[in-house]
Amino acid sequence: MTSLPTLSAVIYERLQHAFSPAYLEVVDESAQHHGHIAHQQGSKHFLVVLQADCLQSLSRVIAHQKIYAVLNDLMPHPLHALRITIKK
């Protein structure tokens, strides 16, 4: 029996495919939001840290919009919140 990929793995694979980053880290921060209603309903909070050449010349707003566009169908459930850090 094969298991389904974790949400972390899905986020990682999508961002890797979309941006080919030199650096990519996906961290599940859901435990830090234990009391939130979304967490109790099974939604997750993630931190994404990436460095991708294709995002470097964009404003922070545009870069974040491009990242959200790749993950849009996962929001608001199972992905409730996304904290993004773009490294130079």
For domain 7-86, the CATH architecture is: 2-Layer Sandwich (3.30)
- Low-confidence residues in the chain, pLDDT < 50: 38-39
Reported as a single tens digit per residue, the pLDDT across 70-80 is: 999 998 788 87
Q: What is the pLDDT of residue 3?
A: 63
What pTM was computed for the model?
0.83
Contacts of 51 (CB under 8 A, 6+ apart): 21, 22, 23, 24, 86, 87, 88
Indicate the domain borders of the chain: 7-86
Q: What is the pLDDT of residue 43?
A: 62
Q: Which residues pair with 46 in a beta bridge?
A: 28, 82
Q: What is the pLDDT of residue 69?
A: 97
Q: What is the pLDDT of residue 31?
A: 63
**Beta carbons of 11 and 67 less than 8 angstroms apart:** no
Query: Hey, what are 5's tokens?
Result: 């990929």
Q: Which residues pair with 84 in a beta bridge?
A: 48
Q: What is the pLDDT of residue 45?
A: 81
